Amino acid sequence: MKILISNDDGFQAPGLVALHDALKDIAEVEVVAPEHNNSAKSNALTLAAPLYVHKAHNGFRYVTGTPADCVHIALKGLLDYRPDLVVSGINNGANMGDDTIYSGTVGAAMEAYLFGIPAIAFSQIEKGWAHVDAAAQVARRLVQQIEREKLIGGNPFLLNVNVPNLPFDELKPVKVCRLGRRHAAEKVITQDSPRGETMYWIAGAGGAKDSGEGTDFHATAAGHVALTPLQIDLTDHANLGDWNDTMARVARSAAGG
């Protein structure tokens, strides 16, 4: 099995190193990750500038771009093979609920999924890397289980996994969850710049609004590893029919009916 590893915190992040170390003896692994922190870059691609790829002393490749750039370049020119699986993370902080829209960790995994390659995004709930080796152990076991179930090479999948910051033997089993929802984000922070202009800082994400039973928030709060299968189709399927009716009505009244 060949695994491409990326992340959004940058090629020197402890979560990436831990993930690499946990997977390197169960698969052929390669790291292509951003040079700098690219958290909250989602699926952004760099189109207006060239990208450079360098190799660190430990063999990790790092790219002067976003997480999606890394996976895109790896799959469409850098690697001379197609990985069987792409694993992203382990992120410094939760990617639950609405976070998945903004997350560069999920973005890297999603880029692989868009190319038809199965992908998994891993995140720790709290920032600071406490028990990151336990999260890496979770990643290793999950990859092994997925391989044993012969899911690699079948239909591609996109999994979002969040791991509480606990020692490995205190983690509760994997729970399959839907995404919860967060409250609207906190107010932006303003400061005066040294040149007399106002600077605006995007503030933190909101707390959990929907953290009920069955959500990633609920499971991780109880010590479980939360696993959510994601899809990409943003179509509001439930309201397709209503919008069809509305637009038909608009067309009739425009025709004078």
Q: Contact residues for Mn ion (CB under 5 A)?
A: 8-9, 39, 91
Q: Which residue number, 27 or 159, has a Cβ lying nearer to Mn ion?
A: 159
Q: Which residue number, 27 or 38, has a Cβ lying nearer to Mn ion?
A: 38
Q: Write down the least CB distance from residue 37 to Mn ion, Å.
A: 7
Give the CB-nearest residue to Mn ion: 39
Strand order in the sheet with 61-63: 53-55, 61-63, 28-34, 2-6, 85-91, 119-124, 158-163, 224-229, 172-176
For the purposes of burial, counting CB atoms within 10 Å of the CB of 72, is it exposed (0-12), middle (13-18) or buried (19 or more)? buried
Q: Which residue number, 8 or 111, has a Cβ lying nearer to Mn ion?
A: 8
Q: Write down the least CB distance from residue 230 to Mn ion, Å.
A: 17
Structure tokens at 172: 């509760």
Q: What separation in angstroms does the CA of 17 have from each of 2, 6, 40, 41? A: 17, 10, 20, 21
Backbone angles phi, psi at 170, to 5 degrees: -100, -5
Q: Write down the least CB distance from residue 197 to Mn ion, Å.
A: 28
Q: Write down the least CB distance from residue 106 to Mn ion, Å.
A: 10
Q: Write down the least CB distance from residue 91 to Mn ion, Å.
A: 5
Q: Which residue number, 27 or 96, has a Cβ lying nearer to Mn ion?
A: 96
Structure tokens at 82: 């197609």
Q: Which residue number, 63 or 152, has a Cβ lying nearer to Mn ion?
A: 63
3-state SS string for 27-41 = CEEEEEEECCCCCCC
